[in-house]
Amino acid sequence: MSIKVGNGYTSKQSKSNASIGSDVLERIIDTYPELNPLWLITGKGDMILDVNSSGEPLPDYGKSIDEILENKIKRIVQEQLKDFSEKLESFPTLDQISKEIQKNLKGN
């Protein structure tokens, strides 16, 4: 009732194991701001955001489902780029590879 969705809708979605619409997700997020949008969409992380435990601002998840998903994708891509960059730093340069090949050729 608080998110203005009828019992029929929730019962139907539950029985058919169907997804709920983005408009309903937005209403849930608007009605319950302490609810972690990431948990609501993916089931990962804490269900409730503990606003009082730290002085740090909460992450900006966005106001619509599209913004939430876009921000999630951006965070994943940033993490992957960071991992790739760290791996790339340990990768030998062409000059190092060339010197190693020349060294091996001279040894044979």
| Three-state secondary structure readout of the chain | CCCCCCHHHHHHHHHCCCCCCHHHHHHHHHHCCCECHHHHHHCCCCCECCCCCCCCCCCCCCCCHHHHHHHHHHHHHHHHHHHHHHHHHCCCCHHHHHHHHHHHHHHC
pLDDT digits (tens, 9 = 90+) for 21-68: 888 888 888 888 888 888 888 888 888 887 555 555 555 666 677 777
- Residue 91: per-residue pLDDT: 84
- CA–chain centroid gap for 75, Å, is 6
Specify which residues 24 forms β-bridges with: none
pLDDT digits (tens, 9 = 90+) for 69-96: 787 788 888 889 998 888 888 888 888 8
- Residue 62: per-residue pLDDT: 65
